[in-house]
Structure 1
Amino acid sequence: MQYSKGELRRAKTLELIKSHGKISLQEIVEVIGCSVATARRDLDALEKADAIIRTSGGAIYEGALLSSAAELPFAAKRDYRRQDKERIAEAAADLVQEGDIICLTGGTTTFFIAKALKKHRNITIVTNAVNIAYELADAEDITVVVIGGVMRAKSYELSGPLAENVIDKINITRMFLGVDGVSQNHGFTMHSELEARIAQFMMDRSSEVYAVFDQSKLEKSALFTIVPLNQVTGVITDMQLEGWFEQACREQQIAIHTARDHTASIQ
Protein backbone atom coordinates (compact mmCIF):
# COMPACT_ATOMS: atom_id res chain seq x y z
CA MET A 1 0.00 0.00 0.00
CA GLN A 2 1.37 3.38 -1.04
CA TYR A 3 0.93 6.37 1.26
CA SER A 4 0.65 9.97 0.16
CA LYS A 5 3.18 12.60 1.22
CA GLY A 6 0.58 14.10 3.56
CA GLU A 7 -0.13 10.76 5.25
CA LEU A 8 3.58 10.10 5.75
CA ARG A 9 4.11 13.61 7.11
CA ARG A 10 1.21 13.24 9.56
CA ALA A 11 2.49 9.84 10.68
CA LYS A 12 5.91 11.36 11.34
CA THR A 13 4.28 14.27 13.19
CA LEU A 14 2.29 11.87 15.36
CA GLU A 15 5.40 9.89 16.26
CA LEU A 16 7.13 13.15 17.14
CA ILE A 17 4.28 14.16 19.47
CA LYS A 18 4.20 10.69 21.06
CA SER A 19 7.93 10.75 21.76
CA HIS A 20 7.82 14.21 23.36
CA GLY A 21 4.40 14.00 25.04
CA LYS A 22 3.67 17.55 23.87
CA ILE A 23 5.05 19.78 21.14
CA SER A 24 4.75 23.30 19.75
CA LEU A 25 3.91 24.33 16.19
CA GLN A 26 7.37 25.82 15.76
CA GLU A 27 9.02 22.54 16.77
CA ILE A 28 6.93 20.66 14.20
CA VAL A 29 7.91 23.16 11.51
CA GLU A 30 11.60 22.83 12.35
CA VAL A 31 11.69 19.02 12.58
CA ILE A 32 9.26 18.09 9.80
CA GLY A 33 10.30 20.91 7.47
CA CYS A 34 6.80 22.13 6.61
CA SER A 35 5.03 25.48 6.81
CA VAL A 36 3.09 26.66 9.88
CA ALA A 37 -0.16 26.41 7.91
CA THR A 38 0.60 22.81 6.92
CA ALA A 39 1.50 21.91 10.50
CA ARG A 40 -1.82 23.36 11.70
CA ARG A 41 -3.78 21.37 9.08
CA ASP A 42 -1.95 18.18 10.06
CA LEU A 43 -2.73 18.75 13.74
CA ASP A 44 -6.39 19.37 12.88
CA ALA A 45 -6.49 16.05 11.00
CA LEU A 46 -4.77 14.18 13.83
CA GLU A 47 -7.18 15.67 16.36
CA LYS A 48 -10.19 14.57 14.28
CA ALA A 49 -8.70 11.07 14.29
CA ASP A 50 -8.62 11.24 18.12
CA ALA A 51 -4.84 10.79 18.08
CA ILE A 52 -3.89 14.03 19.84
CA ILE A 53 -5.27 16.93 21.87
CA ARG A 54 -4.82 20.38 20.30
CA THR A 55 -3.53 23.25 22.44
CA SER A 56 -3.30 26.95 21.59
CA GLY A 57 0.32 26.63 20.46
CA GLY A 58 0.69 23.01 19.44
CA ALA A 59 -0.53 19.61 20.62
CA ILE A 60 -0.39 17.00 23.40
CA TYR A 61 -0.42 13.25 22.94
CA GLU A 62 -3.59 11.92 24.59
CA GLY A 63 -1.70 9.01 26.13
CA ALA A 64 0.54 11.46 27.99
CA LEU A 65 -2.49 13.04 29.65
CA LEU A 66 -3.90 9.70 30.70
CA SER A 67 -0.70 8.09 31.95
CA SER A 68 1.26 10.95 33.48
CA ALA A 69 1.26 11.24 37.26
CA ALA A 70 2.72 14.73 36.99
CA GLU A 71 0.54 17.83 37.13
CA LEU A 72 -0.05 19.56 33.80
CA PRO A 73 -0.71 23.30 33.45
CA PHE A 74 -4.32 24.47 33.18
CA ALA A 75 -3.92 25.53 29.53
CA ALA A 76 -2.72 22.06 28.56
CA LYS A 77 -5.71 20.34 30.19
CA ARG A 78 -8.54 22.75 29.39
CA ASP A 79 -9.60 21.31 26.03
CA TYR A 80 -9.03 17.65 26.93
CA ARG A 81 -12.48 15.96 26.92
CA ARG A 82 -13.95 19.45 26.60
CA GLN A 83 -17.43 18.33 25.51
CA ASP A 84 -17.69 16.00 28.51
CA LYS A 85 -16.66 18.82 30.84
CA GLU A 86 -19.19 21.17 29.28
CA ARG A 87 -21.97 18.61 29.83
CA ILE A 88 -20.88 18.18 33.44
CA ALA A 89 -20.91 21.96 33.78
CA GLU A 90 -24.51 22.20 32.51
CA ALA A 91 -25.60 19.48 34.93
CA ALA A 92 -23.93 21.34 37.80
CA ALA A 93 -25.51 24.65 36.77
CA ASP A 94 -28.94 22.99 36.85
CA LEU A 95 -28.52 22.45 40.60
CA VAL A 96 -27.97 26.16 41.28
CA GLN A 97 -30.89 28.30 42.44
CA GLU A 98 -31.36 32.04 42.78
CA GLY A 99 -29.80 33.35 45.98
CA ASP A 100 -27.29 30.50 46.28
CA ILE A 101 -23.72 31.04 47.42
CA ILE A 102 -21.67 28.76 45.18
CA CYS A 103 -18.08 27.70 45.74
CA LEU A 104 -15.84 26.72 42.81
CA THR A 105 -12.38 25.29 43.36
CA GLY A 106 -9.81 25.58 40.60
CA GLY A 107 -9.71 23.14 37.71
CA THR A 108 -10.79 22.77 34.10
CA THR A 109 -14.22 21.30 34.85
CA THR A 110 -15.04 23.98 37.42
CA PHE A 111 -13.89 26.59 34.90
CA PHE A 112 -16.60 25.37 32.52
CA ILE A 113 -19.09 25.41 35.41
CA ALA A 114 -18.24 29.10 35.88
CA LYS A 115 -19.00 29.71 32.21
CA ALA A 116 -22.32 27.85 32.52
CA LEU A 117 -23.29 29.86 35.61
CA LYS A 118 -22.97 33.18 33.77
CA LYS A 119 -26.59 32.79 32.64
CA HIS A 120 -27.78 32.72 36.28
CA ARG A 121 -28.93 35.77 38.19
CA ASN A 122 -28.68 36.83 41.82
CA ILE A 123 -26.07 34.31 42.93
CA THR A 124 -22.72 34.69 44.70
CA ILE A 125 -19.70 32.71 43.56
CA VAL A 126 -16.77 32.15 45.91
CA THR A 127 -13.56 30.90 44.33
CA ASN A 128 -9.85 30.60 44.99
CA ALA A 129 -9.06 30.44 41.25
CA VAL A 130 -7.98 33.67 39.58
CA ASN A 131 -8.92 32.50 36.08
CA ILE A 132 -12.45 31.62 37.20
CA ALA A 133 -12.89 35.04 38.80
CA TYR A 134 -11.69 36.68 35.58
CA GLU A 135 -14.13 34.60 33.52
CA LEU A 136 -16.99 35.86 35.71
CA ALA A 137 -15.88 39.49 35.75
CA ASP A 138 -18.46 40.58 33.16
CA ALA A 139 -21.33 38.40 34.45
CA GLU A 140 -24.43 40.44 35.33
CA ASP A 141 -26.10 40.00 38.72
CA ILE A 142 -23.37 37.66 39.96
CA THR A 143 -21.28 38.65 42.97
CA VAL A 144 -17.79 37.21 42.83
CA VAL A 145 -15.78 36.69 46.03
CA VAL A 146 -12.10 35.91 45.47
CA ILE A 147 -10.28 34.24 48.34
CA GLY A 148 -6.84 35.76 48.84
CA GLY A 149 -3.52 33.96 49.04
CA VAL A 150 -0.51 32.98 46.95
CA MET A 151 -1.20 31.87 43.37
CA ARG A 152 0.12 28.62 41.91
CA ALA A 153 1.04 29.15 38.25
CA LYS A 154 -0.12 25.75 36.97
CA SER A 155 -3.64 25.97 38.39
CA TYR A 156 -4.18 29.72 39.01
CA GLU A 157 -5.40 28.76 42.50
CA LEU A 158 -4.78 30.87 45.59
CA SER A 159 -3.81 29.16 48.82
CA GLY A 160 -2.11 29.75 52.15
CA PRO A 161 -3.00 31.29 55.55
CA LEU A 162 -4.66 34.38 54.04
CA ALA A 163 -7.07 32.21 52.06
CA GLU A 164 -7.84 30.10 55.12
CA ASN A 165 -8.67 33.19 57.19
CA VAL A 166 -11.13 34.45 54.57
CA ILE A 167 -12.83 31.07 54.15
CA ASP A 168 -13.47 30.84 57.87
CA LYS A 169 -15.89 33.78 57.61
CA ILE A 170 -17.92 32.55 54.60
CA ASN A 171 -21.07 30.42 54.49
CA ILE A 172 -21.51 28.41 51.29
CA THR A 173 -24.71 26.84 49.96
CA ARG A 174 -23.22 24.47 47.41
CA MET A 175 -19.63 23.64 46.51
CA PHE A 176 -18.35 22.11 43.26
CA LEU A 177 -15.08 20.33 43.91
CA GLY A 178 -12.66 19.76 41.06
CA VAL A 179 -10.37 16.76 41.54
CA ASP A 180 -7.30 15.24 39.88
CA GLY A 181 -8.15 11.65 40.73
CA VAL A 182 -10.81 9.34 42.19
CA SER A 183 -9.94 5.95 43.63
CA GLN A 184 -11.37 3.42 46.06
CA ASN A 185 -8.38 3.50 48.39
CA HIS A 186 -7.50 7.20 48.33
CA GLY A 187 -10.85 8.89 47.68
CA PHE A 188 -10.80 12.29 45.94
CA THR A 189 -7.24 13.49 45.36
CA MET A 190 -5.25 16.54 44.16
CA HIS A 191 -1.68 17.14 43.04
CA SER A 192 -1.11 20.06 45.42
CA GLU A 193 -1.12 19.73 49.19
CA LEU A 194 -1.93 23.44 49.62
CA GLU A 195 -4.90 23.24 47.23
CA ALA A 196 -6.18 20.09 48.93
CA ARG A 197 -6.04 21.91 52.29
CA ILE A 198 -7.97 24.92 50.92
CA ALA A 199 -10.56 22.57 49.44
CA GLN A 200 -10.98 20.95 52.87
CA PHE A 201 -11.52 24.37 54.47
CA MET A 202 -14.14 25.28 51.87
CA MET A 203 -15.91 21.94 52.32
CA ASP A 204 -16.21 22.62 56.05
CA ARG A 205 -18.08 25.84 55.24
CA SER A 206 -20.40 24.24 52.64
CA SER A 207 -23.87 22.78 53.18
CA GLU A 208 -23.52 20.55 50.09
CA VAL A 209 -20.42 19.35 48.23
CA TYR A 210 -20.43 17.84 44.74
CA ALA A 211 -17.29 16.32 43.25
CA VAL A 212 -17.14 17.00 39.50
CA PHE A 213 -14.99 14.89 37.16
CA ASP A 214 -14.94 13.11 33.80
CA GLN A 215 -14.23 9.43 33.40
CA SER A 216 -10.49 9.95 32.80
CA LYS A 217 -10.12 10.77 36.54
CA LEU A 218 -11.63 7.49 37.76
CA GLU A 219 -9.16 4.87 39.02
CA LYS A 220 -6.48 7.58 39.24
CA SER A 221 -4.77 8.84 42.40
CA ALA A 222 -2.94 12.14 42.73
CA LEU A 223 -0.48 12.66 45.58
CA PHE A 224 -2.75 14.22 48.22
CA THR A 225 -6.17 13.06 49.43
CA ILE A 226 -8.77 15.80 49.84
CA VAL A 227 -11.46 13.64 51.44
CA PRO A 228 -12.67 10.03 51.39
CA LEU A 229 -15.48 9.18 49.00
CA ASN A 230 -18.16 9.24 51.72
CA GLN A 231 -17.65 12.92 52.59
CA VAL A 232 -19.40 14.43 49.56
CA THR A 233 -23.10 15.04 49.00
CA GLY A 234 -22.94 13.83 45.42
CA VAL A 235 -20.91 13.42 42.25
CA ILE A 236 -21.44 14.87 38.78
CA THR A 237 -19.76 12.91 36.02
CA ASP A 238 -20.07 12.15 32.32
CA MET A 239 -20.56 8.40 32.57
CA GLN A 240 -22.96 5.81 33.87
CA LEU A 241 -21.31 4.56 37.03
CA GLU A 242 -20.76 0.87 37.65
CA GLY A 243 -18.61 -1.49 39.66
CA TRP A 244 -17.06 -0.50 42.98
CA PHE A 245 -17.81 3.21 42.59
CA GLU A 246 -21.51 2.68 41.99
CA GLN A 247 -21.61 0.36 45.01
CA ALA A 248 -19.77 2.90 47.17
CA CYS A 249 -22.24 5.63 46.20
CA ARG A 250 -25.17 3.35 46.99
CA GLU A 251 -23.79 2.34 50.38
CA GLN A 252 -22.91 5.93 51.37
CA GLN A 253 -26.12 7.53 50.02
CA ILE A 254 -24.15 9.70 47.58
CA ALA A 255 -26.27 11.34 44.86
CA ILE A 256 -25.14 10.53 41.31
CA HIS A 257 -25.75 13.11 38.57
CA THR A 258 -24.98 11.82 35.09
CA ALA A 259 -24.21 14.66 32.71
CA ARG A 260 -25.08 12.83 29.51
CA ASP A 261 -28.79 12.85 30.27
CA HIS A 262 -28.90 15.20 33.31
CA THR A 263 -30.45 12.47 35.46
CA ALA A 264 -29.86 12.13 39.16
CA SER A 265 -30.39 9.35 41.63
CA ILE A 266 -29.52 8.33 45.15
CA GLN A 267 -27.85 4.98 45.03
Structure 2
Amino acid sequence: MPEQSLTKGEQRRRSILGMLKQRGRVSVQDIVETLHCSEATARRDLDALEQTDSVIRTIGGAIYDAYHATKEASFEEKTSLSWVEKERIAVTAASLVEEGDIVGLSGGTTTYLIAKQLKTRTGITVVTNALNIAMELADSDGIQLVVAGGILRRKSYELCGPLTEKVVEHLNIGKMFLGIDGFALEQGLTTHSESEAQIAKILIKRSERTFAVFDRSKVDRVSLFTIAPINSIHACITDAPLAGPIGEQLRKRSIRVYVAQ
Protein backbone atom coordinates (compact mmCIF):
# COMPACT_ATOMS: atom_id res chain seq x y z
CA MET A 1 0.00 0.00 0.00
CA PRO A 2 1.49 3.41 -0.97
CA GLU A 3 2.62 5.47 2.02
CA GLN A 4 0.41 8.42 1.05
CA SER A 5 -2.74 6.27 1.16
CA LEU A 6 -2.16 5.17 4.77
CA THR A 7 -3.85 6.85 7.70
CA LYS A 8 -1.72 8.53 10.34
CA GLY A 9 -2.25 5.56 12.68
CA GLU A 10 -1.32 3.04 9.97
CA GLN A 11 1.85 4.97 9.18
CA ARG A 12 2.77 5.05 12.87
CA ARG A 13 2.18 1.29 13.28
CA ARG A 14 4.23 0.61 10.14
CA SER A 15 7.06 2.63 11.69
CA ILE A 16 6.76 0.69 14.96
CA LEU A 17 6.89 -2.60 13.07
CA GLY A 18 10.02 -1.38 11.28
CA MET A 19 11.62 -0.55 14.64
CA LEU A 20 10.74 -4.01 15.93
CA LYS A 21 12.17 -5.77 12.88
CA GLN A 22 15.39 -3.77 13.15
CA ARG A 23 15.91 -3.99 16.93
CA GLY A 24 14.00 -7.13 17.88
CA ARG A 25 12.51 -5.37 20.92
CA VAL A 26 11.12 -1.91 21.66
CA SER A 27 9.69 -0.26 24.74
CA VAL A 28 6.69 2.05 24.94
CA GLN A 29 9.12 4.84 25.83
CA ASP A 30 11.15 4.15 22.66
CA ILE A 31 8.00 4.64 20.59
CA VAL A 32 6.98 7.80 22.44
CA GLU A 33 10.40 9.40 21.97
CA THR A 34 10.84 8.31 18.33
CA LEU A 35 7.33 8.93 16.99
CA HIS A 36 6.27 11.73 19.36
CA CYS A 37 3.01 10.12 20.45
CA SER A 38 1.46 9.51 23.86
CA GLU A 39 2.09 6.38 25.93
CA ALA A 40 -1.57 5.42 25.58
CA THR A 41 -1.31 5.64 21.78
CA ALA A 42 1.88 3.58 21.77
CA ARG A 43 0.26 0.86 23.89
CA ARG A 44 -2.82 0.75 21.64
CA ASP A 45 -0.61 0.45 18.56
CA LEU A 46 1.34 -2.44 20.10
CA ASP A 47 -1.92 -4.18 21.03
CA ALA A 48 -3.12 -3.78 17.44
CA LEU A 49 0.15 -5.09 15.99
CA GLU A 50 -0.02 -8.14 18.27
CA GLN A 51 -3.29 -9.11 16.60
CA THR A 52 -2.03 -8.87 13.02
CA ASP A 53 1.75 -9.34 12.95
CA SER A 54 4.52 -11.43 14.53
CA VAL A 55 4.57 -9.18 17.58
CA ILE A 56 4.37 -10.31 21.20
CA ARG A 57 3.51 -7.82 23.93
CA THR A 58 5.80 -7.74 26.93
CA ILE A 59 5.82 -5.69 30.12
CA GLY A 60 6.38 -2.14 28.94
CA GLY A 61 6.82 -2.90 25.25
CA ALA A 62 6.97 -5.68 22.66
CA ILE A 63 9.30 -8.04 20.82
CA TYR A 64 9.38 -9.15 17.18
CA ASP A 65 8.75 -12.86 16.87
CA ALA A 66 9.11 -13.65 13.16
CA TYR A 67 10.87 -16.94 13.86
CA HIS A 68 8.28 -18.27 16.29
CA ALA A 69 5.51 -19.98 14.33
CA THR A 70 2.90 -20.34 17.06
CA LYS A 71 0.91 -17.25 18.00
CA GLU A 72 -1.21 -17.09 21.10
CA ALA A 73 -4.84 -18.05 20.57
CA SER A 74 -7.70 -16.36 22.36
CA PHE A 75 -9.63 -18.13 25.11
CA GLU A 76 -12.53 -18.66 22.69
CA GLU A 77 -10.23 -20.22 20.09
CA LYS A 78 -8.69 -22.51 22.70
CA THR A 79 -12.09 -23.80 23.80
CA SER A 80 -12.41 -25.65 20.48
CA LEU A 81 -9.13 -27.53 21.04
CA SER A 82 -9.05 -30.87 22.92
CA TRP A 83 -12.16 -29.93 24.90
CA VAL A 84 -13.07 -33.51 25.85
CA GLU A 85 -9.52 -34.25 26.98
CA LYS A 86 -9.46 -31.05 29.05
CA GLU A 87 -12.73 -32.02 30.71
CA ARG A 88 -11.21 -35.37 31.74
CA ILE A 89 -8.17 -33.58 33.14
CA ALA A 90 -10.48 -31.24 35.06
CA VAL A 91 -12.39 -34.16 36.61
CA THR A 92 -9.11 -35.75 37.73
CA ALA A 93 -7.84 -32.48 39.18
CA ALA A 94 -11.07 -31.85 41.07
CA SER A 95 -10.89 -35.34 42.58
CA LEU A 96 -7.69 -34.28 44.37
CA VAL A 97 -9.42 -31.39 46.15
CA GLU A 98 -10.65 -32.06 49.68
CA GLU A 99 -12.79 -30.10 52.09
CA GLY A 100 -10.72 -27.44 53.84
CA ASP A 101 -8.28 -27.04 50.92
CA ILE A 102 -7.03 -23.68 49.70
CA VAL A 103 -6.96 -24.15 45.94
CA GLY A 104 -5.19 -21.93 43.40
CA LEU A 105 -6.38 -21.70 39.78
CA SER A 106 -4.42 -19.78 37.17
CA GLY A 107 -6.07 -18.72 33.92
CA GLY A 108 -6.66 -21.11 31.04
CA THR A 109 -9.30 -23.34 29.48
CA THR A 110 -8.35 -26.40 31.54
CA THR A 111 -8.34 -24.50 34.84
CA TYR A 112 -11.67 -22.94 33.88
CA LEU A 113 -13.09 -26.46 33.54
CA ILE A 114 -11.62 -27.35 36.95
CA ALA A 115 -13.54 -24.38 38.36
CA LYS A 116 -16.74 -25.73 36.85
CA GLN A 117 -16.07 -29.09 38.52
CA LEU A 118 -15.53 -27.38 41.89
CA LYS A 119 -18.58 -25.14 41.62
CA THR A 120 -20.83 -27.32 43.81
CA ARG A 121 -18.18 -28.07 46.46
CA THR A 122 -18.36 -26.74 50.00
CA GLY A 123 -15.74 -25.85 52.57
CA ILE A 124 -12.94 -24.86 50.18
CA THR A 125 -11.21 -21.59 49.33
CA VAL A 126 -10.32 -20.80 45.71
CA VAL A 127 -7.65 -18.24 44.84
CA THR A 128 -7.55 -17.09 41.22
CA ASN A 129 -6.25 -14.28 39.05
CA ALA A 130 -8.60 -15.20 36.18
CA LEU A 131 -11.71 -13.08 35.76
CA ASN A 132 -13.78 -15.77 34.00
CA ILE A 133 -13.00 -18.30 36.74
CA ALA A 134 -14.00 -15.77 39.38
CA MET A 135 -17.31 -15.16 37.59
CA GLU A 136 -17.94 -18.91 37.29
CA LEU A 137 -17.54 -19.37 41.06
CA ALA A 138 -19.08 -16.07 42.17
CA ASP A 139 -22.45 -17.61 43.10
CA SER A 140 -21.05 -20.73 44.81
CA ASP A 141 -22.20 -20.48 48.42
CA GLY A 142 -19.83 -23.17 49.67
CA ILE A 143 -16.67 -21.60 48.24
CA GLN A 144 -14.71 -18.70 49.69
CA LEU A 145 -13.39 -16.87 46.63
CA VAL A 146 -10.22 -14.75 46.64
CA VAL A 147 -9.57 -12.76 43.46
CA ALA A 148 -6.19 -11.15 42.82
CA GLY A 149 -6.98 -7.97 40.88
CA GLY A 150 -4.82 -6.32 38.28
CA ILE A 151 -4.61 -5.54 34.57
CA LEU A 152 -6.80 -7.78 32.38
CA ARG A 153 -5.26 -9.76 29.49
CA ARG A 154 -8.19 -10.19 27.13
CA LYS A 155 -6.84 -13.30 25.41
CA SER A 156 -6.79 -15.31 28.63
CA TYR A 157 -8.96 -13.28 31.04
CA GLU A 158 -6.03 -13.35 33.47
CA LEU A 159 -5.37 -10.40 35.75
CA CYS A 160 -1.65 -9.57 35.87
CA GLY A 161 0.80 -6.87 36.83
CA PRO A 162 2.10 -5.33 40.07
CA LEU A 163 -1.33 -5.21 41.74
CA THR A 164 -1.87 -8.94 41.20
CA GLU A 165 1.63 -9.78 42.37
CA LYS A 166 1.23 -7.71 45.52
CA VAL A 167 -1.91 -9.64 46.51
CA VAL A 168 -0.53 -13.09 45.71
CA GLU A 169 2.72 -12.47 47.60
CA HIS A 170 0.71 -12.37 50.84
CA LEU A 171 -1.32 -15.56 50.26
CA ASN A 172 -0.71 -19.16 51.28
CA ILE A 173 -2.07 -21.68 48.76
CA GLY A 174 -2.31 -25.40 49.43
CA LYS A 175 -2.89 -26.95 45.99
CA MET A 176 -2.09 -24.88 42.91
CA PHE A 177 -3.44 -25.98 39.53
CA LEU A 178 -1.39 -24.20 36.88
CA GLY A 179 -2.39 -23.94 33.24
CA ILE A 180 0.51 -23.71 30.77
CA ASP A 181 1.12 -23.30 27.02
CA GLY A 182 4.17 -25.55 26.78
CA PHE A 183 5.87 -28.37 28.70
CA ALA A 184 9.39 -29.36 27.63
CA LEU A 185 12.33 -31.03 29.33
CA GLU A 186 14.90 -28.28 28.81
CA GLN A 187 12.72 -25.15 28.84
CA GLY A 188 10.30 -26.39 31.51
CA LEU A 189 6.87 -24.78 31.88
CA THR A 190 6.30 -21.99 29.36
CA THR A 191 3.63 -19.48 28.35
CA HIS A 192 2.98 -16.88 25.66
CA SER A 193 2.79 -13.92 28.04
CA GLU A 194 5.61 -12.37 30.06
CA SER A 195 3.18 -10.93 32.62
CA GLU A 196 1.42 -14.30 33.03
CA ALA A 197 4.79 -16.01 33.47
CA GLN A 198 5.67 -13.56 36.23
CA ILE A 199 2.47 -14.09 38.22
CA ALA A 200 2.71 -17.86 37.70
CA LYS A 201 6.18 -17.86 39.27
CA ILE A 202 4.79 -16.16 42.36
CA LEU A 203 1.79 -18.52 42.53
CA ILE A 204 4.17 -21.50 42.52
CA LYS A 205 6.32 -19.91 45.22
CA ARG A 206 3.29 -19.31 47.46
CA SER A 207 1.92 -22.86 47.05
CA GLU A 208 2.64 -26.02 49.04
CA ARG A 209 1.98 -28.24 46.01
CA THR A 210 1.81 -27.28 42.34
CA PHE A 211 0.02 -29.40 39.73
CA ALA A 212 0.73 -28.55 36.09
CA VAL A 213 -2.44 -29.25 34.07
CA PHE A 214 -2.13 -29.67 30.31
CA ASP A 215 -3.29 -31.85 27.42
CA ARG A 216 -0.94 -33.85 25.21
CA SER A 217 -0.66 -31.04 22.61
CA LYS A 218 1.45 -29.03 25.09
CA VAL A 219 4.10 -31.75 25.52
CA ASP A 220 7.46 -30.94 23.89
CA ARG A 221 6.03 -27.58 22.91
CA VAL A 222 7.86 -24.39 23.88
CA SER A 223 6.29 -20.96 24.22
CA LEU A 224 8.29 -17.77 24.48
CA PHE A 225 8.46 -17.17 28.24
CA THR A 226 9.63 -19.70 30.81
CA ILE A 227 7.63 -19.93 34.03
CA ALA A 228 9.75 -22.45 35.90
CA PRO A 229 11.81 -25.64 35.43
CA ILE A 230 10.07 -29.00 35.58
CA ASN A 231 11.45 -29.75 39.06
CA SER A 232 9.49 -26.79 40.48
CA ILE A 233 6.22 -28.76 40.30
CA HIS A 234 5.01 -31.69 42.39
CA ALA A 235 2.77 -33.42 39.84
CA CYS A 236 1.31 -33.28 36.32
CA ILE A 237 -2.27 -33.94 35.30
CA THR A 238 -2.60 -34.74 31.62
CA ASP A 239 -4.56 -36.94 29.21
CA ALA A 240 -1.84 -39.33 28.03
CA PRO A 241 1.20 -41.07 29.57
CA LEU A 242 4.43 -39.09 29.38
CA ALA A 243 7.04 -41.29 27.74
CA GLY A 244 10.62 -40.80 26.58
CA PRO A 245 13.12 -38.44 28.26
CA ILE A 246 10.40 -36.30 29.86
CA GLY A 247 8.74 -39.30 31.50
CA GLU A 248 12.11 -40.62 32.64
CA GLN A 249 13.10 -37.31 34.25
CA LEU A 250 9.75 -36.99 35.99
CA ARG A 251 10.20 -40.45 37.50
CA LYS A 252 13.75 -39.63 38.62
CA ARG A 253 12.53 -36.48 40.33
CA SER A 254 9.54 -38.25 41.91
CA ILE A 255 7.08 -35.98 40.10
CA ARG A 256 3.83 -37.88 39.90
CA VAL A 257 1.89 -38.03 36.63
CA TYR A 258 -1.90 -38.34 36.82
CA VAL A 259 -3.36 -39.58 33.52
CA ALA A 260 -7.01 -38.65 33.13
CA GLN A 261 -9.15 -41.59 32.01
Give the TM-score normalised by structure 2. 0.73
In structure 2, the residue matched to 1:233 is 234
Offset of 1:120 from its aligned partner?
1.5
Taking every aligned residue pair, what percent have the same amino acid on both sides?
Answer: 49
In structure 2, the residue matched to 1:94 is 95
Offset of 1:139 from its aligned partner?
1.6
Q: Which stretch has the larger CA shift, 113-122 or 191-200? A: 113-122
Q: Which stretch has the larger CA shift, 206-215 or 110-119? A: 110-119
- Answer yes or no: is the 8 Å Cα contact 1:121–1:141 preserved in 2: yes
In structure 2, the residue matched to 1:177 is 178
Offset of 1:174 from its aligned partner?
0.4
> What amino acid does structure 1 have at the position aligned with 2:193?
S
In structure 1, the residue matched to 2:107 is 106
Offset of 1:68 from its aligned partner?
5.1
**How far apart are the structure 2 equivalents of 1:131 and 1:71?**
18
Secondary structure at 1:249's aligned position in 2? helix
Give the CA RMSD over aligned residues.
Answer: 1.1
**How far apart are the structure 1 equivalents of 2:101 and 2:154?**
29
Offset of 1:190 from its aligned partner?
0.4
In structure 1, the residue matched to 2:131 is 130
Offset of 1:79 from its aligned partner?
2.8
Q: Deviations over 1:140-173 (max 9, x none)?
A: 2101111011001101101111111101111100
- Answer yes or no: is the 8 Å Cα contact 1:118–1:140 preserved in 2: no
What does 1:195-206 align with in structure 2 at a 5 Å threshold?
A: 195-206=196-207
**How far apart are the structure 1 equivalents of 2:84 and 2:69?**
22
Distance 1:172 1:89, change over 3 A: same
Is 1:142–2:136 an aligned residue pair?
Answer: no
In structure 2, the residue matched to 1:167 is 168
- Answer yes or no: is the 8 Å Cα contact 2:126–2:146 preserved in 1: yes
Moved over 4 A (4+): none
In structure 1, the residue matched to 2:193 is 192
Secondary structure at 2:93's aligned position in 1? helix
Is 1:244–2:240 an aligned residue pair?
Answer: no
**How far apart are the structure 1 equivalents of 2:71 and 2:186?**
19
In structure 2, the residue matched to 1:153 is 154
What does 1:59-70 align with in structure 2 at a 5 Å threshold?
A: 69-70=70-71
**How far apart are the structure 2 equivalents of 1:68 and 1:212?**
23
**How far apart are the structure 1 equivalents of 2:144 and 2:230?**
31
**How far apart are the structure 2 equivalents of 1:87 and 1:101?**
22
In structure 2, the residue matched to 1:59 is none
**How far apart are the structure 1 equivalents of 2:251 and 2:208?**
20
**How far apart are the structure 1 equivalents of 2:208 and 2:152?**
26
**How far apart are the structure 1 equivalents of 2:102 and 2:253?**
25
> What amino acid does structure 1 have at the position aligned with 2:86?
K
**How far apart are the structure 2 equivalents of 1:240 and 1:184?**
15
Is 1:209–2:210 an aligned residue pair?
Answer: yes
**How far apart are the structure 2 equivalents of 1:147 and 1:180?**
21
Give the TM-score normalised by structure 1. 0.71
> What amino acid does structure 2 have at the position aligned with 1:164?
E
**How far apart are the structure 2 equivalents of 1:161 and 1:246?**
36
Secondary structure at 1:135's aligned position in 2? helix
Gaps of 5+ in 2: 1-67
**How far apart are the structure 2 equivalents of 1:188 and 1:169?**
23
- Answer yes or no: is the 8 Å Cα contact 2:120–2:142 preserved in 1: no
Secondary structure at 2:245's aligned position in 1? helix
> What amino acid does structure 2 have at the position aligned with 1:234?
A
> What amino acid does structure 2 have at the position aligned with 1:104?
L
Secondary structure at 1:103's aligned position in 2? strand
Q: Deviations over 1:65-84 (max 9, x none)?
A: xx951001001101311110
In structure 2, the residue matched to 1:62 is none
In structure 1, the residue matched to 2:43 is none
**How far apart are the structure 2 equivalents of 1:127 and 1:79?**
23
> What amino acid does structure 2 have at the position aligned with 1:241?
L
